[in-house]
Amino acid sequence: AQKITQTQPGMFVQEKEAVTLDCTYDTSDQSYGLFWYKQPSSGEMIFLIYQGSYDEQNATEGRYSLNFQKARKSANLVISASQLGDSAMYFCAMREPRGSTGFQKLVFGTGTRLLVSP
């Protein structure tokens, strides 16, 4: 079964600095997708970035980039130039490969709380 591990319960960063949030995953499948979501205190899960297992380039979306190291099974999120509004919970998730039903679900880690200070 797929598993996502986020070992950092909390991270602190100063405004305008970069921060890396760690994520490792466990799967025996060759085809999978990795996601990062941001969850502010309001509760909504906001999609940040996606990396497919066959993507050769690391994904980037504005200030977010995903450091994908397939052999190490890690998919760390890098946030450059942190802003106060980045303070939130961050979840790493894996999309299970499409099974016989054709349907997929997301498996989430336990999250990392990021606090950005002025």
Partner 1 sequence: DAGVTQSPTHLIKTRGQQVTLRCSPKSGHDTVSWYQQALGQGPQFIFQYYEEEERQRGNFPDRFSGHQFPNYSSELNVNALLLGDSALYLCASSLFGGQREAFFGQGTRLTVV
What is the binding site for partner 1 (CB under 8 A)?
4, 33, 35, 37, 42-47, 50, 52, 91, 93, 95, 101-111
The identity of residue 55, as a single letter, is D
Nearer to partner 1, 42 or 57 (CB): 42
Nearer to partner 1, 6 or 82 (CB): 6
Shortest distance, CB of residue 71 to partner 1, whole angstroms? 22
Residue 3, judged by CB atoms within 10 A of its CB (0-12, 13-18, 19+), counts as exposed
28-51 burial: b if 16+ Cβ within 10 Å, else e: eeeebbbbbbbeeeeeeeeebbeb
Nearer to partner 1, 33 or 74 (CB): 33
